[in-house]
Amino acid sequence: MKASSTATRARGADFDAIVVGAGFGGLYAVHKLRDGLGLDVQAFDSADDVGGTWYWNRYPGALSDTESYCYRFSFDKELLQQGHWKSRYLTQPEILDYLSGFADRFDLRRSYQFGTKVTAARFDESAGLWNVTTDKGRTLTAKYLVTGLGLLSATNKPPFKGIDGFKGETYHTGAWPEGIDLAGKRVGVIGTGSTGVQVIIALAPVAKHLTVLQRSAQYVVPIGNGPESEERINEYKAQYEAIWKQVKESAVAFGFAESTVPAMSVSEAQRERVFEDAWKRGGGFYFMFATFSDIATSPEANAAAADFIKRKIAGAVKDPDTARKLMPTDLYAKRPLCGTDYYDVYNRANVTLADVKADPIAEFTPTGIRLQSGAEHELDVVVFATGFDAVDGNYTRIDMRGRSGVTIREKWKEGPLGYLGMMESDFPNFFMILGPNGPFTNLPPSIETQVEWISDTIAHMERKGARTVEPTQAAEDEWIAACRTIADMTLFPKAQSWIFGANIPGKKNAVMFYMAGLCNYTKALNSVKESGYGAMIFD
């Protein structure tokens, strides 16, 4: 521990804090705790370098769908002015490069042990320390455990019958190896979520033949990507103060002002014009939240947006049968998707759409995939764009135990809990970045907000000389109930998606997000702090 440290090293501890993860969250946590509070920090990541989500998701077409100017940290004004990008949206290599530069800037790699998976974390009540075990067989102790495991990092690869006998290659988009060349191959893609849409757009011009195995049709709007001029970038830089103020005072934190106009308060012609303008501008969250105020809350407004997109699908796709299969049948209430000319992909001669809801995947054969009808798709490569065991999946894969040996699996058997999206009763001195029941937004601004709150809470503890902190059960219950009430005011729980755990067979449907926006979330955090942390137990 450094001379400037605010912490008194807990007796017998190897470190003050252990941080898990080297994505946006973990990197910033190491910087704040080590350089800000002067704690002695040891960090781990199972990858061989920094990047987190952006280290693993190297699939063709991987892109952030938040605009480049606000898919970054805001706290470092100099770094903001040094920012450089080419297009309206950042590609995966650019984001990885940004995070690598961030790690260099603050010399963060020296605190990490890479290529190391944390397999267990147990709280030792008598010592008041976390015992963290890695796959290298070491167990280290620390007073604080901070996890930045990522919302979406435990991959979901459905165990299809016959998969082991498939002679071709299979890849999950969330664990994509470097240097895979799919040119000239017969490729099948399972999944049409955010990832599937990106990988399908990228592979269609490359593959010899692309077969899209679609279970649920999705609403996809244009992303509106294109080069960004130096002049435009300089304009953003000149306005950064106002931009970040707006981002942090907004709900979804995507850099645009959310609409305050209900869809049915304007004429049909005006509504059509607003949707058309948003379609031309591009952006999935923009279409859902900047057109009208109630697309995600009013069935009527939602139907108007859905109907507009369906008409666009009908207009874009030449083959009526394919267009019919691409028409979503449910609400427009999953995470909004966007991509460049997505529906035009299906006009290509080398692309086939298989509706695997109507005719489900029966099994993999040695040479491809057979559907229940007996139809066979001959494939060299199958890409699993089948998503993630989101939010809690990363935690339940670690043997995590809190007070009295209670496991996180037991605590979360009815669905993941989480006070303020960061803490958990019975798990003292444990802070999750993007844990369950945190905000549903463009992630870097929420990550920043959470890491700063964690750092402030730890500083408060150290000033108090407290040994442990955890939320009261009542505060946690109240937060979860509030998240449920807020979610039920939206249409999101009515659609089947990972946001409520519906994508994993057997996973309990649960509220996993605070859906009242970053602005209200920050107010909630501030009120906990300003009330003297009354909702927490300090020991």
In the complex, the smallest distance separating the C-beta of residue 416 from ligand N01, rounded to whole angstroms, is 16
Q: Report d(CA 138, CA 124) in Å as an integer.
A: 16
In the complex, minimum distance from the CB of residue 145 to ligand N01, in angstroms, rounded to a whole number:
25
How far, in Å, CA of 51 to CA of 53, rounded?
6
- Judge whether 252 and 335 are in contact, CB under 8 Å: no
Shortest approach of ligand N01 to residue 98 CB, angstroms? Answer: 14
Of 6 and 57, CB closest to ligand N01? 57
Alpha-carbon torsion angle 122, 412, 480, 428, nearest 10: -10
- Is residue 129 within 8 Å of 13, Cβ to Cβ? yes
Nearest to 201 by CA among 327, 387, 308, 62: 62
Q: Which is nearer to ligand N01, 142 or 361 (CB)?
A: 361
Q: Which is nearer to ligand N01, 41 or 253 (CB)?
A: 253
Beta bridge partners of 42: 18
Task: In angstroms, give the least distance from the CB of 193 to ligand N01.
Answer: 2
Considering beta carbons, is residue 182 or 252 the nearer one to ligand N01? 252
Provide, rounded to whole angstroms, the least separation between the CB of residue 85 and ligand N01: 15
SS (H, E, C) 60-73: CCCEEEEEHHHCCC
Output the smallest distance, CB 190 to ligand N01, in A.
5
- Minimum distance, C-beta of residue 149 to ligand N01, in the bound complex (Å): 14
**What is the torsion angle, in degrees rounded to the nearest 10, for the CA atoms of residue 332, residue 338, residue 339 and residue 345?**
0
Nearer to ligand N01, 278 or 461 (CB): 278
How many C-alpha atoms does 36 have within 13 Å on its Cβ side?
A: 17
Alpha carbon distance 92, 118 (integer Å): 25
DSSP 15-44: EEEEEE--SHHHHHHHIIIIIIS---EEEE
Task: Record the tokens describing residue 276, joined without a space.
Answer: 């058309």
d(CA 263, CA 283): 18
Q: Of 112, 117, 123, 114, nearest to 145 (Cα)?
A: 123
DSSP conformational letter for 223:
-
Considering the complex, state which of residue 91 and residue 468 has its C-beta at the smaller distance from ligand N01. Answer: 91
Cα separation, 538 vs 466, in Å, equals: 6
Alpha helices in 174-227 (DSSP H): 194-203
3-state secondary structure of 275: helix
* Residues 6+ positions from 380 with CB-CB distance below 8 Å: 168, 169, 185, 186, 187
Q: In terms of CB distance, is 189 or 519 closer to ligand N01?
A: 189
Which of 135, 150, 140, 132 is CA-nearest to residue 46? 135
Minimum distance of ligand N01 from residue 337's CB (angstroms): 8
Max Cα–Cα distance, the chain, nearest Å: 71
Question: Considering the complex, what minimum distance in angstroms separates the CB of residue 358 from ligand N01?
Answer: 12
- Nearer to ligand N01 (CB atom), residue 26 or residue 188: 188
Cβ distance to ligand N01 smaller for residue 412 or 492: 492
Beta-carbon contacts of 365 under 8 Å, excluding residues fewer than 6 positions away, are 162, 165, 166, 376
DSSP 412: T
With respect to ligand N01, which residue has the nearer C-beta, 145 or 434?
434
Tokens 């940290």, located at residue = 73
Nearer to ligand N01, 193 or 222 (CB): 193
Residue 109 CB, shortest distance to ligand N01, in Å, is 24
The token pair at 346 is 């299906």
Q: Which residue has the tokens 């859905």?
A: 306
Task: State in angstroms the smallest separation of the CB of 173 from ligand N01.
Answer: 6
Q: What is the smallest separation between the CB atom of 334 and ligand N01, expressed in angstroms?
A: 7
Cβ proximity to ligand N01, 44 vs 498, nearer residue? 498
Q: Name the residues that contact ligand N01, by CB under 6 A.
A: 63-65, 152, 158, 190-196, 198, 215-216, 335, 356, 361, 385-388, 498, 503
Residue with tokens 């040996």: 405
Tell the residue number behind the tokens 């103060």, with chain if given: 241
Least gap, CB of 142 to ligand N01 (angstroms): 31
Q: Of 65 and 470, which has the nearer Cβ to ligand N01?
A: 65
